[in-house]
Structure formats: structure tokens, C-alpha cells
Structure 1
Amino acid sequence: MSQFNSISDLLHESGAQFRIFDMGRRISKISSGQFEKLEQGMIPYPLPYLHHAWLALMLWNNKDKQQNVVWFLKFPLDEQGFLVQAVRDDFLNRLMQNISQMLQKENLDQNNDALKDNPFSFTPDQEKMAMFHAQSATIIQQPASQFYTGTKAYFSGDLGWENWSTLGYQGIADLAARLDEDNNNAYLLNAIPHLPAEPLRALCTCLEHVEPDHRIAKALLSRLQEQLQTDPDETGNTNLVAALLRGLSNIHNEELKKATIHQTLTSSYAAKAEVMAAIATRCNLSLQYPDLLSLYLEKLAVSEAGQTGFSRILADLMFIPMMRILILQAFRNPQRSEELSAAIGLMFGTSFEHSTKN
């Protein structure tokens, strides 16, 4: 079998249908053209997370969609956010060793060990894996999981809102991935005001991967506003606030998102590390507004995340080129607090902290 010069070449020559997804902050599609530019070093990776590109490559046989395979790949990025060519080449060389027979076989399912012992493969967490399975099933027009019917019955309200313990997370993911089917959007609108914390949290961690409409967004916002009035030190409350922020993070209404984040940052929940991490990892696009970013930085500097959390969260955000520029500008704000100045100094050194005052 001939050697391929890029992953794109391999995908195109495989004869299979394929889709490429980013798996970092949320599941989102990457076009084949965009991926080719990433591989050629023409553009930086658009969605870096923890200094890596997190990818899912989904391949299937168009004549028999039961024949499919997914590769989850994690590649380090250079200091400018570009894919490291040598790493990509190393991956391809290892892959060729494992799948030398791949293109001669018709059944893609026989090649699920293609990434065996490959250091660039990873396994998504269970929540993200469930949502990926749900979305991929809709792409290749496969039925939802066995949990889907029971989940629809619960969210319709027919079973009683407290009877959620037998729900499968996969069923909730299936429902979130099929909002335009089976009256599911209406079921959610009916259910959200009544859901107990646990199924509401699970629903929100699925909705962050899709684009809920404005009605669902308003229903989630109402629950969040209620939750912000509760005691953040009471068990489970912080987890639910963070989950609701995640559920709202991919809605279209940017003004609503900004207002939601501002309301959260001016509540007692701004002190909680999990809430601050949810905003940074899922709502980072909203932090491109200077006033909101300045408020976020001030709250992060005095939050329970501590100096370690402050440094880790900002190191990840600053890997995104636009966010790096905006954060450095915010650091130079002469009106910043002493607490923020101290956190900056501990992260970068006192010489950097002093230079931002000049």
C-alpha cells in the first residue's frame, strides 16, 4: 500500500464517506477543506483546547452504514496554534503499520484496532461519547439507542418528574441530537421548568453540543436565574449552575449570553471554580467583549480557583490568538484591582506585572 502524505489523502483515498469533528470544548464539525488547510499549515487550529487539537474522524460505507469506524485523535499544537507536521507524519507512519490491509478489506468494522498502541488516540469522556454517538447516528440515518423511547416518555411528563432514576444518559443525548424530530423540542419546553437537578444537569451537558432555539434558551435562563438565588455552598447547586451555563453556551442570541454571564459573575456563584471554568471553556466567545472579560478576570483572581486555577484557565484561553490579545489588553487596564495585579504577577512574574502598569 502506498504511503500517504496527509490524513486528508488517506480519508479521500479510503473510498469511505467521512466527517471530521472537533471534540475539544464541544462537538462541532470541521469541513474537509478546512482540515486540509490545517494539515498544510495554512491556518492555525481554530478551536484549541489545552494546547491540543482534539479530533474525531468518522468513516462509513455508504452502501452499508453498519460498516463504520471512528478515530479519536489528539495532536499537540505549536506555540502559534498550528498542527505540528512531524507529529502528523509520525501518526500516519504508525497508522500505516496497523492498517496495511485496511484498503483491501470491505468491512470497516474489522479495522477498529487501527489505532492500537497509537499515542495520539484518546477516549472521550462518557458524556461526550454519548453525545457523539447520538449525533453520528443521525448523520448516517441510524436509529436512536434503546433508551430513546423511555427518555421521550419521561420528558413528555407522563412518567412523573421524580421518576428519572432509570433514564439512560444515552437516551438524553439522543433526544438532544434530535430536537427537530418526534416533537422533542416541545417536550423539552414542557419539561425544563419541572426537571429535578440531576436530569436537568444531564440535559444541559448534551445541549451544549447542539444549538437550542430561543424558546429553550429562555427556559434554561429562567432556571439559571432561579438557581443563582440559592446558596452556592449547598451540595449540588454549583454543579447545576455550571451545567446551565453550558446548556446556554451554544445558543444564537449573543446578547442573551452576555447578559447571562454578567448576571452569573455578579452573583455569589462567581466565587466557584467550577462556574468560572464553565464560562472559560464553553462561553469563551462571549469573553471577547472587553467589559465582560475585565469583569471575568477580576472575579477569577479572587475566586476559589486560586492562583493555580487562575493560571491554568488563562493559559488555555491565551492559546486562542484573539483571546491572548484581548487578555493582554485587559492586563494593561490601569483600573484593574490589586488582587488581579497580584495574580498576574504570580502567573507571569513581577517584571511582567510591573510592565503592564507602564
Structure 2
Amino acid sequence: MSQISSLTELLRQSGGQFRFFDMGRRVQKFSVEQFEKIENQQTPYPYPYLQHAWVALMVWNPKNKQQGAAWFLKLPLDEQGFLIQAVRDDLLSRLLKNAGGVLQHEQSGEVPDDALKDNPFSFKPDQEKMAIFHAYSTLTSSEPASQYFEHAQQYFAGQIGFDNWQSLGFQGIADLVVRHEKGSNSKVITQAIPHLPDVPFEVLCTCLESIQPDHSLYEALCLRAEQTLTQGTANANHIAALTRGLSSGPTTPRKMALIKQILDTDYALEPEVITAIATRCHECLQEPTLLQVFLEKLAIGESGQTGFSRILSDLMFMPALRALILMQFRNEDRSPELTAAIGAMFGSDFS
């Protein structure tokens, strides 16, 4: 056992197949090779959230797909975003103790479910992310989608009436979205978007954040967003869900304009909306004028000083944003409210 020096090495010796997913801001796949570089501190974790790497590890036996397990790991990162080596070693030691015999020696492809028993680095994802992860895991291992998938397909195809959404399962919508490249699923979703009532549309948006939609699907989403913002009658939860849906598309001028439009409204004062922009659309905030508006709204928003400090602590953990935020902090045109919020976070002598 002492010869094994990394988690990926341990998994390879198990004889099973495995995939890694990030579970932080959204659910997204990343390669085994990428995780190996992260483990060996050759590269920082690409998707830090709240100063941690939120990793899902899917492992299954290729000869018997029913023999599988999912591990959810919350691993602290250092100030530069690298995985802390002592944490990785501690995790590896615990895994070898709990599951080493099965993983290292038997090479059966079977992975014990209780390998993370009493592990301080494990976490339980929320229901939304679990639904997306489950959809990805069945797709990755070529397993059938959930029992709710067919009903979701029929609903989005308009076969049972768009007002009859009450029996829809979140898992079914997640399965449909994750399988958007299969058959006509993307076209079905695209054509449904203008007709969806608010509730199923919000669920759809929370699922869309975890895929890369094609042009037609994203175009339909942008059109509905523009209409919603023009009407100005939606509630904050709806705008937050819409923001999450928009986040999945490429950072184009149109997307930037939509995020700017949201920031220019009172919606941006609501905690759920400003949090959605911070956690899902942080790439947009690399544009200085957009970042300036974001900071001003955050300073006077309903989330208060606690929300201001918490959101900025997370954003400043990203190297690409840290320097830009500090530049805005030193902007002589900043408002008294932003100046006060900065002072409360860093001390009144911040300069």
C-alpha cells in the first residue's frame, strides 16, 4: 500500500473505470489527466469555489455497471488555488485504510461504497447538483436515463400541454438537458422555451448551466431573457434562474449586454440575483465596466456587508479577478457606499 502515492494511481490499480466532475459552481466534467496534474500540484484547481475543490468521483466496474460508487470530496486549496498536499495524503491514507484491500489487490473493478465512511473531506451535494450528476453518470457509463426522462421528453415536445408541468420530475429535466446532443433533444428544448410557464422554465435554466448549449438553444434562451427583462414583472428568483441559464453560453457581446441589463435593474439588489452573477457569470466580470457596476450594486444590495465580504472573498480567490477587483477598489470614482463596504471588509485605511 505504501507504494501508492496518488488517488489516480489507486483508482487505476482497482481495475475499475472512473471519471471526475467538478461540483462547485456548476456540474462539469474534467479529465483524469487534469486531476492527476492537480494532485501533483502541477496546476491549480481550475474551478475553485469558496476556497475549495468540490470534486465528484464516479467509479464503476466495466464488467458489471451495477457495481459502482460515487464519492464527493471537498478539498481545501492554498492561496494560489493549488491542492494542499497534506490534505491529499491524508485522504489517500484514509481511503487505503477503508478500501485499500479491494482497490489495490483484487483489481475486480468493484469499489466499496463506504470508502469515505467518517471522512472529513466528504460532502453531500444539494438535490439539484445530484440530479445533474446522476444524469451525467448514467450517460457516461452508457446506462439508461431515469424513469422520468421519457415524460420530460414528451412534455418539452408539447405532447401533454405546457400547462401540465406539475408531474414533471427534476431528474427527468436534468436527463433531457444532459442528453441535449442525443437525437432531437436540443431542438425539442429550443422549441419549447418560448412556451414554458415560469416554474418549468426556471428548472430548465438551473440544468442548462451545466452544459454547453448549441447556438439555436442559446439564441432561444437569450430571446426569452430579453423579453422578460423588457416586461420587468418577473420576481428575483426567476431572474436568478435566468442568469444561471445564460451563464452556460459563450462570453459574447450579447451575453455581456444581458448581464449588464440585469445589473442595471433593481433585480441586482436581490441576494439571489447578485449571487447568481457572481458564482455563474464571473467570466463576464473580467470586463472592467461590468465589474464596476457589479461592485456598486453589491455594496448597496440586500445581502448587506456580510454578503459583500463573502462574495468578494470568493471572487478574489480567482487570479484573473483579484487584480481587477483591487483596481476597482482604488477607482477614485467609486461611490461612498462602495468605499464604506470596502472599509468594513479590509479596514478603513485600505489603499
**Structure 2 residue 241 is matched with structure 1 residue 243:** yes
- Rounded Cα–Cα distance in structure 2 between residues aligned with 1:177 and 1:5: 34
1:335 to 333, 338, 344: 333
CA contact 2:60–2:110 (8 Å) conserved in 1: no
Q: Which moved more, 1:105-114 or 1:206-215?
A: 105-114
CA contact 1:67–1:107 (8 Å) conserved in 2: no
- Which residue type is aligned with residue 100 of structure 1? G
CA contact 1:214–1:253 (8 Å) conserved in 2: no
Distance 1:110 1:180, change over 3 A: closer
- Rounded Cα–Cα distance in structure 2 between residues aligned with 1:109 and 1:124: 23
TM-score (norm: length of structure 1): 0.93
- Which residue type is aligned with residue 343 of structure 1? A
Helix, strand or coil at the partner of 1:99: helix
Aligned to 2:51: 51
- Rounded Cα–Cα distance in structure 1 between residues aligned with 2:148 and 2:32: 33
Distance 1:168 1:66, change over 3 A: same
Aligned to 2:260: 262
Aligned to 2:119: 118
- Rounded Cα–Cα distance in structure 1 between residues aligned with 2:138 and 2:332: 52
- Rounded Cα–Cα distance in structure 1 between residues aligned with 2:38 and 2:189: 38
Instruction: Write out per-residue CA displacement over residues 92-122 of structure 1, whole angstroms, 9 at most, x where no aligned residue.
Output: 1111111133134566566111111111111
- Rounded Cα–Cα distance in structure 1 between residues aligned with 2:14 and 2:289: 49
Aligned to 1:161: 162
Q: Percent identity?
A: 56
Aligned to 2:13: 13
Q: Which moved more, 1:97-106 or 1:155-164?
A: 97-106
- Rounded Cα–Cα distance in structure 2 between residues aligned with 1:196 and 1:214: 22
CA contact 1:228–1:269 (8 Å) conserved in 2: no
CA contact 2:102–2:110 (8 Å) conserved in 1: no
CA contact 1:21–1:28 (8 Å) conserved in 2: yes
Across the aligned residues of Structure 1 and Structure 2, the Cα RMSD in angstroms comes to: 1.7
Aligned to 2:344: 346
Aligned to 1:272: 270
**Structure 2 residue 174 is matched with structure 1 residue 173:** yes
- Rounded Cα–Cα distance in structure 2 between residues aligned with 1:100 and 1:18: 16
Write out aligned runs for 1:215-234 (5 A). Answer: 215-229=216-230
1:200 shift after superposition = 0.6
Aligned to 1:321: 319
Instruction: Write out per-residue CA displacement over residues 266-316 of structure 1, whole angstroms, 9 at most, x where no aligned residue.
Output: 122111111000000000111111111111111111111111111110000
Aligned to 1:288: 286
- Rounded Cα–Cα distance in structure 2 between residues aligned with 1:90 and 1:106: 23
CA contact 1:254–1:286 (8 Å) conserved in 2: no
- Rounded Cα–Cα distance in structure 2 between residues aligned with 1:82 and 1:101: 30
Write out aligned runs for 1:188-207 (5 A). Answer: 188-207=189-208
Q: Which moved more, 1:271-280 or 1:102-111?
A: 102-111
- Rounded Cα–Cα distance in structure 2 between residues aligned with 1:332 and 1:253: 26
1:34 shift after superposition = 2.0
Q: Which moved more, 1:22-31 or 1:319-328?
A: 22-31
- Rounded Cα–Cα distance in structure 2 between residues aligned with 1:109 and 1:35: 21
CA contact 2:19–2:58 (8 Å) conserved in 1: yes
- Rounded Cα–Cα distance in structure 1 between residues aligned with 2:134 and 2:110: 16
1:44 shift after superposition = 1.7
Write out aligned runs for 1:121-136 (5 A). Answer: 121-136=122-137
Q: Which runs of 5+ in 2 are unaligned?
A: none
- Rounded Cα–Cα distance in structure 2 between residues aligned with 1:314 and 1:295: 14
1:32 shift after superposition = 2.2
1:253 shift after superposition = 4.7
Aligned to 1:312: 310
Deviation beyond 3 Å, 4+ runs, structure 1: 104-110, 229-232
Aligned to 1:86: 86
Q: Which moved more, 1:106-115 or 1:156-165?
A: 106-115
Instruction: Write out per-residue CA displacement over residues 229-264 of structure 1, whole angstroms, 9 at most, x where no aligned residue.
Output: 4567x7xx1111111111110112522221110111
